[in-house]
């Protein structure tokens, strides 16, 4: 008599019990830690509240949002958070954590509305690359990639690898190192570095403020300006780029633009675009600068350095272009290390250099904000 009853009970249990969780070791371990609250490597008290392993992500299946609206971060909040590797890595141990990380920062859409039936889609688990797709309800049942419309839609690289790539790239680590840590091939690493440099180029165009003008006391701000030459030796061919450089002496903010020629017709529009009226421009004696004082009815002050050998005249100690020359030396050294003599990539490497100089110290936050700005979701 007992055996059939037991079978009935077992069948009943197998229907009424929730399915067992997927065995996923790092996730379950973290879940255990999280249940005990904050945890350190030694199991003792942890000082940093940020290490509280909030990434023990609940399943997001069937939801209409990846994260609740109150977890969405604005650009200022992204910058405030100085994300360390210790804080980042645990968030990437499962796909839910990756998606939540990206959705919180508006790097992927947090929800999706089907443009055919106008219904909100839900997250459906799949075997495909990101683990989930958006799916609108019956009868429409259309599917949409989690990445659609985002910066990530151009790639099939695993999201956790992309996030790690962005982090290490922002930290300015060598590409070889990043590639090894992320675990991707040469071509993928090169592509992603190119994508990120393109973001820098776009961000400069959108965000870079002109130099110079007047300071708070009404004094003209000094901008040093000079043309530089970047040479490439490729066999017998000697080739190069002219680069216009300008730096705000006090703040160190600077601008470099590649130009075809260093004549007046090239120089004057750049000055008008990038130097505010009132700027005190100090340049070398190159002929293109000759009529600068009369440009735009004389809105600029202009002085010329006579000595070409970095000599600073004790009577005129402010009259030099050493700051802009120092910036150029720095840029040249760094770019030579990064791209050697690759002529075609030089402009985007230069943009990356400018971007890093122009943004604040939290480069990880800055590049994520630049991505969300250039690729709004």
Q: What b-and-e string marks burial along 272-309, b requiring 16 or more CB atoms within 10 Å of the CB?
A: eebbbebbbbbbbeeebbeebeebeeeebbbbebeeee
- Region from 131-139, 184-192, 217-225, 258-266 binding Zn ion, contact rule CB under 5 A: 131-139
For residue 160, give both structure tokens: 């956790």
For residue 51, give both structure tokens: 């290490």
Q: Does 117 bind Zn ion (CB under 5 A)?
A: yes
Nearer to Zn ion, 137 or 252 (CB): 137
How many chain residues bind Zn ion (CB under 5 A)?
Answer: 6
Q: State the nearest-atom distance from the C-beta of 140 to Zn ion, in Å.
A: 3
In contact, 108 and 152? CB cutoff 8 Å: yes
Nearer to Zn ion, 45 or 116 (CB): 116
Q: Which of residues 140-169 bind Zn ion (CB under 5 A)?
A: 140, 142
Q: State the nearest-atom distance from the C-beta of 144 to Zn ion, in Å.
A: 9
Q: Does 138 bind Zn ion (CB under 5 A)?
A: no
Q: State the nearest-atom distance from the C-beta of 257 to Zn ion, in Å.
A: 47
> From residue 259, how far is each of 121, 206, 230, 262 by CA, in Å?
49, 20, 11, 7
- Name the 3-class secondary structure at 174: coil
Q: Is the peptide bond before 75 cis (omega within 30 degrees of 0)?
A: no
Q: State the nearest-atom distance from the C-beta of 66 to Zn ion, in Å.
A: 19
Nearer to Zn ion, 115 or 185 (CB): 115
C-alpha 11/C-alpha 304 separation (Å) is: 92
Nearer to Zn ion, 88 or 117 (CB): 117
In contact, 100 and 57? CB cutoff 8 Å: yes
Among 45, 116, 237, 265, binds Zn ion (CB under 5 A): 116
- Region from 46-54, 136-144, 176-184, 192-200 binding Zn ion, contact rule CB under 5 A: 136-144
Q: State the nearest-atom distance from the C-beta of 142 to Zn ion, in Å.
A: 4
C-alpha 115/C-alpha 367 separation (Å) is: 30
Among 55, 92, 106, 114, binds Zn ion (CB under 5 A): 114
- Name the 3-class secondary structure at 255: strand
C-alpha 44/C-alpha 55 separation (Å) is: 20
C-alpha 137/C-alpha 6 separation (Å) is: 39
Binding mask 340-369 for Zn ion (x = CB under 5 A): ------------------------------
Element (H, E) at 327: helix 322-339
C-alpha 178/C-alpha 181 separation (Å) is: 5
- List the beta bridge partners of residue 255: 246
Nearest one of 110, 200, 190 to 148, comparing CA atoms? 110
Q: Does 76 bind Zn ion (CB under 5 A)?
A: no
Nearer to Zn ion, 33 or 144 (CB): 144
- Region from 72-80, 107-115, 240-248, 313-321 binding Zn ion, contact rule CB under 5 A: 107-115
Q: State the nearest-atom distance from the C-beta of 64 to Zn ion, in Å.
A: 13
Q: State the nearest-atom distance from the C-beta of 118 to Zn ion, in Å.
A: 7
Q: Does 115 bind Zn ion (CB under 5 A)?
A: no
**In angstroms, how far is CA 146 from the centroid of its own chain?**
20
Q: State the nearest-atom distance from the C-beta of 237 to Zn ion, in Å.
A: 57
Nearer to Zn ion, 117 or 299 (CB): 117
Q: State the nearest-atom distance from the C-beta of 146 to Zn ion, in Å.
A: 16
Q: Does 136 bind Zn ion (CB under 5 A)?
A: yes
Residues binding Zn ion (CB under 5 A):
114, 116-117, 136, 140, 142
């Amino acid at each position: 008599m007992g055996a059939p009853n037991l079978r009935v009970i077992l069948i009943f249990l197998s229907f009424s019990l929730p399915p067992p969780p997927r065995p996923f070791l790092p996730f379950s371990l973290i879940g255990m830690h999280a249940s005990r609250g904050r945890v350190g490597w030694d199991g003792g008290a942890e000082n940093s509240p940020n290490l509280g392993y909030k990434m023990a992500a609940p399943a997001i299946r069937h939801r209409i949002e990846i994260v609740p609206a109150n977890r969405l971060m604005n650009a200022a909040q992204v910058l405030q958070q100085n994300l360390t590797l210790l804080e980042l890595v645990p968030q990437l141990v499962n796909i839910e954590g990756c998606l939540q990380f990206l959705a919180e920062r508006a790097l992927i859409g947090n929800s999706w509305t089907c443009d055919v039936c106008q219904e909100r889609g839900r997250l459906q688990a799949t075997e495909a690359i990101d683990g989930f797709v958006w799916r609108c309800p019956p009868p429409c049942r259309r599917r949409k990639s989690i990445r659609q419309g985002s910066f990530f839609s151009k790639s099939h690289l695993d999201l956790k690898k992309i996030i790690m790539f962005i982090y290490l790239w922002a930290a300015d680590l060598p590409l070889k190192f990043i590639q090894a840590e992320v675990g991707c091939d040469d071509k993928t690493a090169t592509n992603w570095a190119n994508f990120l440099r393109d973001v820098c180029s776009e961000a400069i165009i959108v965000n870079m403020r002109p130099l110079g003008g007047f300071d708070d006391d009404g004094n003209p701000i000094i901008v040093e300006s000079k043309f530089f030459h970047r040479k490439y030796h490729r066999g017998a061919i000697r080739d190069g780029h002219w680069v216009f450089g300008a730096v705000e002496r006090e703040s160190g903010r600077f601008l470099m633009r590649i130009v075809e020629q260093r004549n007046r017709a090239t120089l004057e529009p750049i000055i008008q675009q990038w130097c505010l009226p009132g700027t005190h421009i100090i340049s070398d004696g190159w002929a293109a600068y000759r009529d600068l004082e009369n440009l735009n009815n004389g809105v600029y002050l202009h002085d010329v350095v006579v000595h070409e050998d970095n000599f600073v005249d004790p009577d005129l100690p402010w009259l030099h272009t050493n700051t802009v020359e120092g910036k150029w030396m720095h840029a040249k050294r760094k770019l030579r290390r990064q791209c050697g003599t690759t002529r075609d990539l030089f402009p985007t490497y230069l943009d990356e250099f400018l971007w890093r100089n122009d943004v604040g110290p939290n480069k990880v936050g800055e590049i994520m904000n630049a991505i969300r700005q250039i690729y709004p979701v």
